[in-house]
Amino acid sequence: MREYTAVIMAGGFGTRIQPLTHSTPKPMLPITNIPMMEHILEKLVDVGMREVVILLYYKPGVIKNHFGDGSKWGVKINYVLPDSDYGTAGAVKKAEEFLKKPFLIISGDLVTDFDLKKIFAFHEEKQSKLTITLTTVNNPLQFGIVIVNEEGVIEQFLEKPSWGEVFSDTINTGIYVIEPEILDFIPKNSPFDFSKDLFPKLMEKGIKLYGYTAKGYWRDVGNPDAYRDVHIDIFNGKVKYNYPGKRIRYIDGVLHLMGEAKIDKSVEIIGEVVLDDGVVLEKGVKLQNCSIGKNTKIGMNSKIRDSVIWENVNIGENCVFDYSVICKNTIIENDVVAKNGCVIAENVKVGKLTKIEKDVTIWPDKEIEPASIVTSNVVFGTKYKNAIFQNGIARGKVNTEISCDMACKLGEAFGSLLPKGAKVMVGRDETRNARMLKRAFVGGLLSTGIDVVDLKAIPPSILRFNINENEDIKAGVYFRLALNNPGNIEIIIFNEYGLRINSSISKALEKNYFNEKFRRVEFNEVGEIHDFDVNIFEYIKKYENRIKEVIDHHIIKNNEFKIVVDLMFGITKEIFPKILNDMKIENIILNAYSDENRLLNIYSYKEKAKEEISKIVTSLKFDMGAMVFPHGQRLNLVTEKGEVLDKIKGLVAILNLMNIDAKENNKKYKVFLPMWAPDFMDEYFKYLEIKRGRYSNFDYKQINEYDLIATIDGNFAFTEFAPHRDALFSLLKIMELLTRHNLKLSEIAKIKTTFYYKKEKIECPQFKKGKVMKEFLNLAKTKKYKKNGGVKLYEEDNNWILLLPDETTEHINIYIQAENEKIGKTMLKKYTDLIKQWIA
């Protein structure tokens, strides 16, 4: 083996693992009472490393004071402290003077038992310029997914995907072996990342990157749950782990290593327990799978299991802690109980008889009064979920998963991203829950110096229109009941164009949220709410006037077009009837009133509504009918013959209408559809340029490249009006085109849709999704396939299956298209069986 230099990345802020990193850099968090990074250094020494570079950034003094010049470990340590955040590769570039030999990059904040010698051997065998160490994980969302071929050459990267983008469970561990000449491709003094910048650049230059799939244990200790779990894995023998230094280690009561501690003979030890010097265990103490830090005292009859206790902690008598972390310099008085886990940060005092009911976090320097019952609302099922937002939307149960406290914090986190004094437009549906949470969120915005334009109860499409139209509005927020999940609420955040925030803004917002370092303005800089001085009707009028500019409503009126519209108890009840009446379009409006109970069961009501609207349209000989869903963004169409168009026929009808209009105007329209939309009928649309893929992160310019963006669920965005979905405008546009070309809705829906199209959901645990997608992609590679919003495998030209992990539930979504039902059902069974095998 050649000589290598090691580079330890130790500059991270540890935002997601707060409050454990309140005063301790993440690499210095204790694992069995020694800093995490010390375990990494020991591994490097074991494989013969003699030169180590440590890249610092956050709290560098803590790391330098502990490791010194490295002589204690028999290595030479050079420290590099960049003057700014240059990204992962940019930071390594700052250490170039120490990297004349091939070098290993490894993070200081992980636990692994990978055999580093095997990684070096692979690198040398392949004569690789850059080797990436890979592993498989249950949840790949926080890592970079990697695809390699049979020779180990990397074919594709995808950095920190959403579930909708996952195509494998093989991820980049951040452990690299690199030849020095690769540093020439990294610019000096410029932000540059390995995965986002360097790797694509090298691949463009034709330099082969190799991936070595390592066997063994690897854990990114990214949040408090991972911190606790890695200890449990160590105690249960899942990781080959050395205990460097002098420690007391008990396995089922048998002493294995000697140190200094005062332990009463009645103490009961179960499983594996690690004690540091100066620990005092009083009479009747019971410990199971624990790590207890230096100079910590545990009082009589206390029971601690699956927990990590740091140094200088004083735990009183009769206390019970399960699955807990208690940080340094904390005092726990007698009879404190936390049976369901907790994280107690440093310098906290918990009074006697306190009960901690759930897995909550107590932040540093707090004092909990005696006999308190400490509760905390769980954020989306787990306290430290990797992502709050999916496609710009936060969802959860009211008052448990999304509480007023959380909504206020989200407001503070989002406001802190915007410049002080910026204006944010907010709105809501008519439910009490939306009103409550909107007020809490607005309070958070105001505290960061943000002004709020409150449009109160208003359709989201009108809110988004006005955000886009007003240059002084920098963002928007909407609060609404989740129709498909009673009791859930949705918070949607929009950018300055009225588009949902993209993934990068979502991640920045979440970082602010978990970090809790919000901007606090002076009392005279607190934001203002504009509500009494806002005439909401002016905003509605601006919306209506814009519609009249775009839609030739005179042609609809002059053709005596008649329509029945069911507003489904939604927020459009006062606006859409007024627009139709102002345009003098004959109409019958159904269910134009609020009914919160009906909204909670809207999908059950929908089937009855279809029958009613169909009867009215046919009996009164109206030209068409429409169901406008409660939030005013989705449509169901009903022909003059009373046929309620299903999802496919509805989409086909609109595409055909656009195609006819394009032909008449001698032009081509550009249309964007999701990857899972059927394509069997595309041959009919000669005047449409149809593209399929994933558009959740499209910016304003990209959206405006298309004339129509649609789904197969009745959502249409005609960009001549606005870049977002709007059922009201879409319905008027359909009416205009029908009358302009003297067409009936039933005529344009006649295109053959007898092909087989099916969507199914298969239950799949979250930790198996990556594996399923990897297996499916490996299978897809043997045939024609596409990846852009799921993985689509083609059996034949028009017969395909698409797999897409559900972003919010533990399911895999399957979409099948086939030329007939027999082929489709055969395909569905074949791939359903395969998926179930992969999950098993």
What digits encode the pLDDT tens for the residues 516-532?
A: 779 989 999 999 998 76
For a pLDDT cut of 70, what percent of the chain falls above it? 94
205-255: pLDDT as tens digits: 999 999 999 999 999 898 888 999 999 999 888 988 776 544 555 666 655
- For residues 544 and 469, is the Cβ–Cβ distance under 8 A? no
In the structure, what pLDDT confidence band is assigned to residue 22 with cuts at 50, 70 and 90? confident
Name the pLDDT band for 377 (thresholds 50, 70, 90): very low
Q: Are 726 and 632 in contact (CB under 8 A)?
A: yes
3-state secondary structure of 172: strand
Give 577's contacts (C-beta < 8 A, 6+ positions apart): 567, 587, 589, 592
pLDDT in tens, 327-372: 999 999 999 999 988 999 998 999 999 999 878 888 887 888 888 8
Environment class of 618 (CB within 10 Å of its CB; exposed 0-12, middle 13-18, buried 19+): middle
What pLDDT is stored for residue 667 in this prediction?
A: 92
Q: Pairing between strand 5-10 and 51-56?
A: parallel
Confidence bin at 1 (pLDDT 50/70/90): confident
- Rounded-to-integer distance, Cα 78 and Cα 68, Å: 9
User: Hey, which residues does 474 pair with through a beta bridge?
Assistant: none
Of 101, 102, 105, 103, the closest CA to residue 174 belongs to 105
Q: Which fold has domain 389-534?
A: Alpha-D-Glucose-1,6-Bisphosphate; Chain A, domain 3 (3.40.120)
Those residues whose C-beta lies under 8 Å from the C-beta of residue 520, and which sit 6 or more positions away, are: 447, 448
Peptide bond into 460 cis (omega under 30): no
Average pLDDT, the chain: 88
Q: Which helix (H) or strand (E) holds 769?
A: helix 769-780
Q: Dihedral of the CA atoms 654, 660, 665, 666 (nearest 10)?
A: 120
| Size (the chain), residues | 840
CA atoms within 13 A on the CB side of 251: 6
Count of alpha carbons within 13 Å of 576, Cβ hemisphere only?
35
Fold designation for 5-218: Spore Coat Polysaccharide Biosynthesis Protein SpsA; Chain A (3.90.550)
**Three-class SS of 333-355:** CCCCEECCCEEECCCCEECCCCE
Distance CA 545, CA 809 (A): 41
Pairing of β 331-332 and β 314-315: parallel
* Separation between Cα atoms, residue 738 and residue 656, nearest integer Å: 11
For residue 380, what pLDDT band results from cuts at 50, 70 and 90?
very low
Q: Give the CATH number of domain 756-839; options: 3.40.50.150, 3.30.310.50, 3.90.1150.10, 3.40.30.10.
A: 3.30.310.50
Looking at residue 383, its pLDDT comes to 30
What is the side-by-side strand order in the sheet with 800-805?
756-763, 811-818, 800-805, 791-794, 784-787
Q: Let me know if the fold of 5-218 is the same as that of 389-534.
A: no
Average pLDDT over residues 391-400: 82
Q: Which residues touch 426 (CB under 8 Å, ≥6 apart)?
A: 438, 441, 442, 452, 453, 454, 455, 463, 476, 477, 478, 479
319-330: burial string, b at 16+ Cβ within 10 Å, e else: bbbbbbbbbbbb
Q: How far apart are CA 22 and CA 25, in angstroms?
A: 8
More confident residue, 718 or 248: 718
Chain centroid to CA 462: 27
Residue 489's contacts (CB-CB under 8 Å, 6 or more residues apart) are 395, 396, 397, 398, 402, 433, 434, 437, 479, 480, 481, 482
For 499, the token pair is 């588009």
Q: What pLDDT sits at residue 662?
A: 95
Res 419 pLDDT > 70: yes
> Could you tell me where the beta strands, DSSP code E, fall in 57-122?
76-80, 103-107, 110-112
Report the pLDDT value the prediction gives residue 386, as an integer from 0 to 100. Answer: 43
Residue showing tokens 């495998």: 793
For residue 789, is pLDDT > 80? no
Tokens for 53, please give them. 């570079």
725, pLDDT greater than 80 = yes
Rounded Cα distance, 386 and 171, in Å = 16
CA pair distance 344, 362, nearest whole angstrom? 5
Q: Which tokens in the block code for residue 453?
A: 């334009």
**What per-residue confidence (pLDDT) applies to 248?**
56
CATH code that applies to domain 541-748 = 3.40.120.10
- Residue 310 pLDDT: 96
Nearest alpha carbon to residue 174 among 83, 112, 260, 244: 112
Q: Contact, 380 vs 389, CB < 8 A? A: no
Q: Quick one: pLDDT band at residue 258, thresholds 50, 70, 90?
A: very low
pLDDT category at 23 given cuts 50, 70, 90 is confident
What is the rounded distance in angstroms from the CA atom of residue 412 to the CA atom of residue 444? 4
User: Which residues on adjacent β-strands are paired with residue 817?
Assistant: 757, 800
CA 307 to chain centre: 28
DSSP 83: S
pLDDT, mean of residues 155-171: 70
- Integer Cα distance of 505 and 699 in angstroms: 12
pLDDT band at 512; cut points 50, 70, 90: confident
| AA identity, residue 650 | G
Residue 57 to residue 85: CA distance in whole angstroms: 8
Give the model confidence (pLDDT) of 681-712 as tens digits.
Answer: 888 899 999 999 887 778 889 999 999 999 88
Cα-Cα-Cα-Cα dihedral sign, residues 66, 72, 73, 74: positive
Q: What is the pLDDT of residue 379?
A: 34
Query: What b/e string do you get for 270-304 counting C-beta neighbours within 10 Å, with b at 16 or more?
Result: ebbbbbbebbbbbebbbbbbbbbbbbbbbbbbbbb
Q: What is the CA radius of gyration of the chain?
A: 30
Q: How far apart are CA 267 and CA 280, in angstroms?
A: 11
Helices 460-469, 536-550: axis angle to 10 degrees equals: 80
Q: What integer pLDDT is reported at residue 510 of this predicted model?
A: 83
Predicted confidence at residue 336, as pLDDT, reads 96
Contacts of 405 (CB under 8 A, 6+ apart): 377, 440
Strand pairing of 144-148 and 130-136? Answer: unpaired
Q: Rounded to 5 degrees, what angle do the CA atoms 618, 622, 625 make?
A: 85
Name which of 69-73, 160-164, 301-305, 450-454 the model is least confident about: 160-164
Q: How far apart are CA 22 and CA 14, in angstroms?
A: 9
Report which residue type is found at 204.
E
Contact 745, 653 (CB under 8 A): yes
Place 160 in a pLDDT band, splitting at 50, 70 and 90.
low
Q: Where are the domains of the chain?
A: 5-218, 246-374, 389-534, 541-748, 756-839
Q: Tell me the C-alpha distance between 248 and 280, whole Å.
A: 12
Please write the tens of the pLDDT for every residue from 729-776.
999 999 999 999 999 999 998 887 778 999 999 988 877 888 899 899
Task: List, in order, residues 6 or more apart from 243 with CB less than 8 Å away.
Answer: 32, 34, 249, 257, 274
Domain 246-374 has CATH 2.160.10.10: yes
pLDDT computed for residue 381 by the predictor: 31
Please list, in sequence order, all residues whose beta carbon lies within 8 angstroms of the beta carbon of residue 295, skipping any fewer than 6 positions away.
276, 277, 278, 279, 311, 312
**Residues ≥6 apart with Cβ < 8 Å to 150:** none
Q: Kindly report, residue by residue over 605-630, the tens digit of the pLDDT.
A: 888 889 999 999 999 999 999 999 99
